[in-house]
Amino acid sequence: MTETSEGSVVICGLPASGKTTFLAALWYVVFDKRDPNALLKFDSLIGLDHSHLNEIMRRWLQAKEQIHTEVASGKMVLMNLKDGDDHKIRVTFPDLSGESFQEMWEARECDPKLAELLRECDGILLFVHADKIKRPIGVAETTQQATGLGGGVPATASPKEWHPKDAPTAVQLVEMLQMLRCDALQAPARRLAVVLSAWDKVEEDEPNIRPDQYLARELPLLDQYLRHGVDGWDVRVYGLSAQGGDFERDGVTDDEARNDSVAEIRALDDASERIHLMTPELSNDLTEPIAWLTE
């Protein structure tokens, strides 16, 4: 078999957007399970000891929340997958912590290694935690909410200085995508897969909503930009539940709902059953967005 070509996908996302859980589940699907039904198969791992990935996979299999491992604190993960025609696809997690992406918004600079990856990639996989979207809330809304709760806003509350980290999620994401097109980066990628992680949280309340509908409602600035912006993105929106529910949190034992969720997840015969990918059709093949980005 010969390698006919190589594609490249970079995994992006702000802190706590679901990248590490995705990597743990992906490692299970393509390496541990060697799922024959996955569109992409494992080829090789570069620049990282398997033990780190095995550790986050172990926690994922045991339904325990990830902790800040060495991997999550900045080490780059580079994995080679291959499709049915043996085309090699390089999947890079430049920064699982997400701090480099936050720095792009806050400090207006990009890590040179990340910049190099972005300049060479064919597709971007952008993670957004569906249950942790920071929305803009006006003073009038805040005051009304406080009044409704019988509290009111204390007149002596000292105003808080502006910091860019306070920016709504949509603002940070749109700016990150705009920056990929700036002269300093000139990322050539056209395809963008937006992955709304923790999709099970959305489905609990709205079992029939599609990921693209949710994005349009919850992140309207990003939705407008992706549909009408001048940067020419070819977009697909996915909903991903890579855990299947709440995981065990270190030190927390008295949360009954969480304990029930953990027990349910652990009772599944096959760990891959906990993976739900809405494409918008239901799938449990985590490699599908990567395959689309590089097809």
Partner 1 sequence: MAEIAEIQCANPACKVRQDGKCVEGLEKDKCAHYGKPLAAPASPSAAEADRHGIVLPSGDLLDQEEASQVLRRGVSRVIAVVAPKEAGKTTLIASVFELFLRGPIGPFQFCGSRTMYAFERACHPSRGVSRNVRPKTERTLLTTVKFYHAALCRAGGPVLDLVVADRNGEDYGTAADDASAVEEFVEISRADTITFLIDGRQLADPVTRSTVGSEMLAIVQALVDGGAIEGRPRVALVLTKLDDIERSDDSERAKRDFVKIDAKLRELHADAFGEIRSFEVAACPSDMSLPLGHGVADLLAYWEETAPQAVSQPAPHVSSPTRFMHRLQGTPE
Interface residues with partner 1 (CB under 8 A) are 103-104, 107-112, 115, 136-144, 153, 155, 157-160, 162, 164, 166-168, 170-171, 174-175, 178-179, 182, 184-185, 220-221, 224-225, 227-231
C-alpha dist (Å) from residue 294 to 27, 87, 139, 143, 210: 19, 10, 45, 48, 23
Please, which residue, 112 or 207, has the CB nearer to partner 1? Answer: 112
95 C-beta neighbours (distance < 10 Å), count:
25
Query: C-beta of 157: minimal distance to partner 1 in Å?
Result: 5
Please, which residue, 95 or 285, has the CB nearer to partner 1? Answer: 95
27 C-beta neighbours (distance < 10 Å), count:
23
Please, which residue, 150 or 251, has the CB nearer to partner 1? Answer: 150
Query: C-beta of 210: minimal distance to partner 1 in Å?
Result: 18
Query: C-beta of 230: minimal distance to partner 1 in Å?
Result: 6
Query: C-beta of 46: minimal distance to partner 1 in Å?
Result: 23
C-alpha dist (Å) from residue 158 to 80, 145, 277: 52, 19, 45
Whole-angstrom Cα distance, residue 54 to residue 199?
A: 24
Please, which residue, 110 or 275, has the CB nearer to partner 1? Answer: 110
Q: Residue 121 is which amino acid? A: C
**Cα separation of the two ends of the chain:** 19
Please, which residue, 34 or 227, has the CB nearer to partner 1? Answer: 227
Query: C-beta of 179: minimal distance to partner 1 in Å?
Result: 5
114, 100 contact by CB (below 8 A): yes
Q: 82 — phi, psi (to 5°)?
A: -145, 145
User: Tokens 């095995």 sit at which residue?
Assistant: 54
Please, which residue, 6 or 106, has the CB nearer to partner 1? Answer: 106
Query: C-beta of 189: minimal distance to partner 1 in Å?
Result: 17
